[in-house]
Amino acid sequence: MSDYGIKSVKPEVNIKSKYPPDWNLNTKYPLLKIFSITRDTFGATDYTITHDLGYRPLTMVWFEDPYDEDNYFFGTYPADFPILGQRITNTQVILSGVENYNFICYIFYDEM
């Protein structure tokens, strides 16, 4: 089967390129599609975000540094902070954290 769909490549690159880093879009492959964005602060217990996707979605979480609110980390905090984590189920994304820490959680339509 010949190619079909929409394809866009970086400037100066031949549209026929089969090298994925050259592509801006190739509809053979999915873009990371954002399902929801949650910005909030941890309470005293795990923070649960409910979704209705029916599968375990890809997520990304950034945390605000509680000692310097200008700075944001991806994933976990430095070693001298309490452990943080996330669990992903078919219906929930459960963030484990520390009270009063701010976070931003992106959930994607794409399956983990």
Partner 1 sequence: MQGIKAAKEYATIKGTDKRNIAIDSRINTLKTKDELVLAYDDSTAITFPHGLEYVPGYLSFYKNSFANYWIFSGGGADYINNTNFISPIDTMSFYSKGKVFVLFDPLDVPTKGIKPPKKFGLSVSQDKTDIKNALSTNILFDSNLEHFMIVKEMEVSCTYSDITPGDGGYELNYSFEGTKVAHGLDYTPAFIASFLCQDYEYYILNPYYVEVPTEAGKSIFVCVDSTYVWIKVNIYFGNSFVSPESIYTDGDTITAKVRLLNKELE
Of 34, 43, 48, 100, the one binding partner 1 by CB under 8 A: 34
Q: Does 33 bind partner 1 (CB under 8 A)?
A: yes
Q: Do residues 57 and 112 lie in contact, with contact meaning Cβ atoms separated by under 8 Å? A: yes
Q: Does 32 bind partner 1 (CB under 8 A)?
A: yes
Q: Does 105 bind partner 1 (CB under 8 A)?
A: no
- Return the residue matching tokens 């929801």: 36
Phi-psi group of 2: left, alpha or beta (phi > 0 → left; psi -120 to 50 → alpha; rest → beta): beta
- Pairing state of beta strands 47-50 and 23-26? unpaired
Q: Does 17 bind partner 1 (CB under 8 A)?
A: no
Between 45 and 84, how does the x/- string for binding to partner 1 read (CB under 8 A)?
----------xx-xxxxx--x----xxxxxxxxxx-x-xx
Q: Does 42 bind partner 1 (CB under 8 A)?
A: no
Amino acid identity of 13? V
What residues have CB less than 8 Å from 86, skipping those under 6 apart?
Answer: 59, 61, 93, 94, 95, 96, 105
Contact footprint for partner 1 (CB under 8 A): 5-6, 8, 10-11, 19-21, 23-35, 37, 39, 55-56, 58-62, 65, 70-79, 81, 83-90, 94, 96, 104, 106, 109-112
